């Protein structure tokens, strides 16, 4: 029996070591996120021409509204085109899109993916643009979004991530999803830039120098998580990714438990795939070339999702109060305090509300669904898992007024 207890304690200390490393990492970045990064000086005053590409798969319910809203930018109208990349849309949707002053590119694949849709669109569009701006089919953007992104390119960057925020908080899961997004913004984008490493990109609300993006995407064939692939490749190649904290892109948050689990399974699968593919190579690049940015980005694939981290830490915290011997109990209690403080530092003040308090009761369910997703990763990255979106009937201007 004593041997079993010893083995259990050794395994628990190993697990503690993993969680301690990852918890202290996000704690340091959360502290950095309280400050502001130093901006580069403008290198030119050129107004770049944007290709605003909006790939969508069976998004008939919302795509016309989204494209119409994307046209409402305080940026010269001759300096951007909105391009709807239509995969499996209904004829009436295509007709409504073509009635707008936008470009419509129809695509069809045996296995649809976002990377395929973007590659096909750029093949059709040619090379007349300076910037590729990628939106999801549910994204609204603030009217000054393009202007602020252009300023980042004027500072010399060729890859830029905007600030993606929630456009809905109508259910408890939507609130939790919105908070999760803002925690990631604070740690992996704002905090990262303060510490001098690249921002993480998200998959939408992001922009790239057009020729660079077109060439890079030719070698991207990911079914899920294509943004993680290009994120890692850019840092591997020494390209710094900028983050524009006040360029807002409004994104629909999941509203139901089954959608939450569906989406997180896809994300977890992509994280595991890219951990196997890039982590060791990034460590070698760190040792041999001093490529901190690449290793830092690959280290993200080693981190547990925040809801799993909080869930595991909460469970072991309560166990440590009654069952674990000292000093192990105090070690777990201290680490739990670090994790809680990290989240408090990272969550915007607007979320300290009664609505958030009500949503917190869903955290155990969210943890359970994420844990189940860990057991169902097989095959998730080999098939297209589509998350259906719904219309809000709300423009970006109305949403922006609500945020004030």
Per-residue model confidence as pLDDT tens digits over 206-242: 999 999 999 999 988 766 678 999 999 999 999 999 9
Q: State the average pLDDT over residues 245-263.
A: 79
Q: State the average pLDDT over residues 323-331.
A: 82
Q: Is the pLDDT of residue 381 over 90?
A: no
> Residue 141: which H helix or E strand, with range?
strand 140-141
Under a CB-based contact definition with an 8 Å cutoff, are residues 225 and 271 in contact? Answer: yes
pTM over 0.85: yes
Closest CA to 39 of 163, 160, 150, 155: 155
Q: What is the structure's pLDDT at 360?
A: 87
Under a CB-based contact definition with an 8 Å cutoff, are residues 387 and 204 in contact? Answer: no
Residues forming beta bridges with residue 56, ordered by sequence position: 86
Q: What is the structure's pLDDT at 150?
A: 98
Q: What is the structure's pLDDT at 163?
A: 98
Q: State the average pLDDT over residues 295-304.
A: 96
Q: Which token pair is 375?
A: 């057991």
Q: Is the pLDDT of residue 382 over 70?
A: no
- Average pLDDT over the chain, rounded to an integer: 89
Q: Which token pair is 326?
A: 């000292």
Q: Is the pLDDT of residue 378 over 80?
A: no
Concatenated DSSP letters for 20-74? HHHHHHHHHHHHHTTS-PPPPPP-----PPEEEEEEEES-TTTHHHHHHHHT--S
pLDDT band for position 249 (cuts 50, 70, 90): very high
Closest CA to 302 of 23, 31, 14: 23
Q: What is the largest CA-CA distance in the chain?
A: 76
Between helices 257-289 and 292-299, what is the axis angle to 10°?
150
Domain spanning 8-398, CATH architecture: Alpha-Beta Complex (3.90)
Q: What is the structure's pLDDT at 223?
A: 67
User: Residue 376, SS3?
Assistant: coil
pLDDT in tens, 24-73: 999 999 999 999 998 899 999 999 999 999 999 999 999 999 999 999 99
Q: Which token pair is 353?
A: 């509300």
User: Residue 163, SS3?
Assistant: strand
Residue 147's CB is within 10 A of a number of other CB atoms, namely: 16
Q: Is the pLDDT of residue 388 over 60?
A: no
More confident residue, 4 or 202: 202
Q: What is the structure's pLDDT at 364?
A: 85
pLDDT in tens, 97-140: 999 999 999 999 888 889 999 999 999 999 999 999 999 999 99
């Amino acid at each position: 029996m004593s041997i079993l207890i010893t083995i259990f304690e050794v395994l628990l200390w190993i697990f503690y070591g993993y969680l301690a490393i990852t918890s202290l990492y996000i704690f340091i970045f959360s502290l950095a996120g309280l400050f502001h990064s130093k901006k580069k000086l403008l290198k030119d005053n050129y107004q770049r021409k944007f290709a605003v590409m909006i790939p969508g798969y069976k998004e008939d319910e919302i795509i016309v509204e989204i494209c119409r809203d994307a046209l409402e930018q305080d940026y010269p109208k001759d300096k951007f085109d909105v391009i709807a990349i239509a995969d499996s849309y209904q004829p009436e949707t295509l007709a409504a899109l073509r009635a707008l002053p936008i470009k419509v590119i129809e695509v069809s694949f045996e296995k649809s993916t976002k990377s395929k849709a973007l590659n096909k669109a750029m093949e059709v569009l040619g090379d007349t643009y300076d910037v590729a701006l990628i939106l999801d089919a549910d994204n609204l953007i603030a009217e000054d979004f393009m202007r602020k992104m252009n300023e980042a390119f004027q500072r010399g960057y060729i890859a830029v991530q905007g600030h993606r925020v929630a456009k809905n908080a109508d259910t408890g899961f939507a609130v939790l999803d919105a908070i999760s997004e803002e925690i990631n913004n604070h740690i992996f984008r704002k905090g990262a830039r303060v510490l001098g490493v690249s921002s993480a990109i998200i998959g939408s609300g992001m922009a790239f120098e057009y020729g660079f993006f077109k060439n890079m995407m030719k070698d991207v064939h990911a079914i899920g998580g294509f943004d993680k692939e290009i994120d890692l490749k850019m840092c591997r190649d020494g390209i710094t990714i900028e983050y524009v904290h006040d360029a807002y892109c409004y994104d629909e948050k999941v509203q139901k438990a089954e959608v939450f689990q569906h989406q997180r399974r896809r994300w977890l699968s992509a994280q595991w795939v890219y951990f196997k593919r890039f982590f060791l190579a990034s460590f070698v690049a760190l040792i041999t070339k001093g490529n901190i940015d690449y290793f830092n980005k690959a280290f993200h694939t080693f981190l547990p999702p925040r809801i799993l981290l909080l869930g595991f830490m909460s469970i072991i915290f309560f166990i440590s109060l009654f069952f674990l011997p000292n000093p192990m109990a105090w070690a777990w209690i201290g680490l739990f305090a670090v994790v809680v403080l990290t989240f408090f530092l990272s969550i915007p003040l607007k979320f300290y509300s009664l609505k958030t308090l009500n949503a917190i009761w869903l955290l155990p369910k969210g943890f359970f669904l994420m844990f189940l997703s860990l057991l169902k990763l097989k095959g998730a990255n080999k098939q297209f898992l589509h998350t259906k979106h719904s219309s809000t009937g709300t423009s970006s201007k109305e949403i922006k007024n609500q945020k004030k």
